Every structure is written in structure tokens, then in C-alpha cells.
Amino acid sequence: MSLDVTQQSTGRLALPFLPRRGARVSVLEIFIFIVCLALAIIGLPQTLQDVAVLTFLWAGLALAWNIAGGYAGLISFGHAAFFGIGAYTSTILFVHLGLTPWIGIWCGGALAALFGALLALICARLRGPFFILSTLAAAEVVRIGALNWASLTGGPEGLSIPPVAGMTSMVFASKAAYVAMMLLFLLVVYAITKLLEGSRYGYYLFSVRDDSDAASAAGVNPLTVRTAAMALSAGLTGIGGSLFAQYFLYLDPTFVISPELSFQFGLLAAVGGLGTAIGPVLGSFLITPMSELLRSYLGNQAAGLHLVIYSALLIVVMLYFPGGIAGALTRIVSRKGKL
């Protein structure tokens, strides 16, 4: 063991070192996506289609969260605000103004990105727990705002998209269309993450996460980098929110902008492996189906039991696999490589 003189106590997450492959794609990644694509094309049984929609959507959102939380070190528990802003923007534009969601989702993403940038500019100078609390508080402000601005958002009664299938309304009769849409979203966010990881900008994020003093001594402006990372992460989350609205067709602030949703994005990413591209995907692929199936099988007999199992699994992963599933897999692969 070497003497470690760099131990820091600034409340930042200390993650194990993971070798990166930059923009190159591994066999495992290709395999996972071929399986997904095949499932989406061949078509799943009706009940599993709902699970697939959520699995792909949450994977995309966990990836988006990971850009801020995993790569830039901006652990945010306020991402539900971006999700909600995206969902409400496209829906309000459609319901009140008749603008097609095909355009509305981009407006939602842009507005969420703007809000994310603003939040980072104000809060990113806070460190560790103080930043996390400020994101949580900001999301609460948005939630309470949405609850009270009833003329725009429908307030606590919520806002519905008429369930009439059509191309302009971006509402589909077949579940398979939603499976494909969410898979496309996941693939786009994944591609963005991979490009970022292999680029100069990706390294700027890592440097700011690991030591912002050293980063600024290297000519990197931490505030600019954090703001850009948050804006990208928030914008993608906003688009995910809009897509969710098109699938669920009903929005209600207590779910769409809930802290639970923010925690979920972060936990899926953490279980899979923070700061890796494949991690959040693995996290969602493991946990979303399990939690959905547990909910449907146990929901009637033992209400809430699925949450207990879900939480226990999270604790086990956090305790024994600090690098998440991706970290554990990397360790297994590199050990095999040596034999």
C-alpha cells in the first residue's frame, strides 16, 4: 500500500478508479443493445411492454442524471424539477395552444436546460451536502409553484392529454411504438454520454469533480464547466419528462416533481455505477423490471413489501459494490484477463 497523502474530507464521493475506454464501445454494450432492439422489434407480451417502456425511459434518465452526478460530481436531488418542467412544457403547449409535442419536447428540454444552468450558476459554488440540499429545495419550489399555478398546470387536479391516438398529438395506440420511442431516447442519451466521455469536455467534468482547485490551476473554469454539465443533464431530463407525459397522458405535480423521482434517477445510476456510461443502463435494467414485477405480484397481498425489498437491495449494492454493478463487472473482467 502506498501512503495516501491526498485524502480529502470535503464530503465528495470517493469512488474507486475505473479504467475508461473513451468513445470505444465494448462487446457487453453492443450485446445489451442488440437484445433491447430485438425485443423492441419482435414485440413483447402486453404486460412486459409497460415494463420495457419504463426500463428504457428510466435508464435514459439515470444516464442524464449521471452526466451531472457521476461525471461532474454535482449530486443533484432536484432532477424531478427538470423532468416536471419538460413534461409540463410540452403538455401545456399542446393542450392550451395546440402545438404538436414533436416540437414541444424540444421546448421542454430547452426550458429545463435553462433552469438547470440557472440553478448551477447560483448553487454550484456550494460544496457537498449544501449543494445537494439546494437542489432538493429548488425542486420543491418548482413543485409548489406547479401545484398553485392552477390556471396553467391544472394544479393538484393535474393535467391530461386527450387519449386520442394521432401523429400530431404524438399519442400512439400501440405500446410497441412507446417501447421504440423510449429505446431511441435511451440510445441518444447513451451516445451523448459516450461522446462526452471520450472528449476534452468530458475530462473537464472529471477534473472539476475530482479537484476544482487543480482544475482551475489547469485553466479550467469550474463554474462554466459545472453550469454546462448541469444544463446538458437537465435538458436531457426535460426531454425524458416530455416523453413520459406522452406515454402516461396525465401529469400531477406530487408525482412528476416528487423528491422520490429525483432519488430514483440518482439511485439507478449509483447502483449501476456512477461516472460510467453503462452503469445507469445496467442499474435500470436490473432494478426497474424487478421493482415493477414486485409491485404487481406483491402489490395486493403485502402492500409496500416491494419497497422493502427494493431498498434492501440498494443497501447491499452500496455496501459491497461501491463502484456499482459496472465496477464489479470491470473487476471480474480484469481479473480474468490476468489469469
14 binds other proteins (CB under 8 A): yes
- Strand segments, DSSP code E, in the chain are 159-160, 250-251
Give yes or no for residue 335 binding other proteins (CB under 8 A). no
**Distance in angstroms (rounded) separating the CA atoms of residues 229 and 231:** 5
Q: Could you give the string, one character per residue 206-225, with x where binding to other proteins holds by CB under 8 A and - elsewhere?
A: xx-xxx-xxxxxxxxxx---
Q: How far is the CB of 123 from other proteins (least distance, A)?
A: 19
Per CB under 8 A, the segment of 13-21, 50-58, 155-163, 309-317 that binds other proteins is: 13-21
CA distance 293 to 307: 12
Q: Is 6 in the site for other proteins (CB under 8 A)?
A: yes
Site stretch for other proteins (CB under 8 A), options 12-20, 36-44, 134-142, 167-175: 12-20
Q: Of 15-23, 31-39, 131-139, 279-287, which part binds other proteins (CB under 8 A)?
A: 15-23
When the beta carbons of 26 and 199 are compared against other proteins, the nearer one is 199
Q: How far apart are CA 133 and CA 330, in angstroms?
A: 32
Q: How many residues bind other proteins (CB under 8 A)?
A: 33
Cell numbers standing for residue 235? 435538458
Q: Which of 209, 228, 336, 326 is nearest to 279 (CA)?
A: 326
> Widest CA span of the chain, in angstroms?
66
Cβ of residue 296: shortest distance to other proteins, in angstroms?
39
Query: From the CB of 213, what's the least distance to other proteins, in Å?
Result: 6
Footprint (CB under 8 A) of other proteins, residues 38-77: none
Residues 273-302, interacting with other proteins (CB under 8 A): 275
**Is position 18 an interface residue for other proteins (rule: CB under 8 A)?**
yes
* Least distance CB 163 / other proteins (angstroms): 47
Residue 84 or 275 having the CB closest to other proteins? 275
Q: Taking CB under 8 A as the rule, does residue 324 contact other proteins?
A: no
Q: Closest Cα partner for 272 from 232, 227, 233, 325? A: 325
Cβ 242 to other proteins shortest distance, Å: 33
Question: Please, which of residues 240-279 interact with other proteins by CB under 8 A?
Answer: 275
Residue 154 or 202: the one with the smaller Cβ distance to other proteins is: 202
Torsion (CA) 6, 10, 11, 15 in degrees, nearest 10: -30
What is the smallest separation between the CB atom of 9 and other proteins, expressed in angstroms? 13
Instruction: Return d(Cα 93, Cα 168) in angstroms, integer.
Output: 13
Q: Supply 72's cell numbers.
A: 461532474
Binding mask 165-204 for other proteins (x = CB under 8 A): ---------------------------------xxx--xx
- Identity at 68, one-letter amino acid code: A
Distance, CA of 316 to CA of 120 (rounded, Å): 32
The CA–CA distances, whole Å, from 311 to 51, 65, 194, 317 equal 19, 20, 29, 10
User: At closest approach, how far in Å is the CB of 13 from other proteins?
Assistant: 10
Establish if 4 lies at the interface with other proteins (CB under 8 A): yes
Q: Smallest gap, in angstroms, from Cβ of residue 237 to other proteins?
A: 24
Element (H, E) at 14: none
CA 253 from chain centre, in angstroms, equals: 18
Question: Concatenated DSSP letters for 190-232?
Answer: HHHHHHHHTSHHHHHHHHHHH-HHHHHHTT--HHHHHHHHHHH
Q: Assess 238 for contact with other proteins (CB under 8 A).
A: no
Give the interface with other proteins as residue ranges (CB under 8 A): 2-6, 14-19, 22, 198-200, 203-204, 206-207, 209-211, 213-222, 275
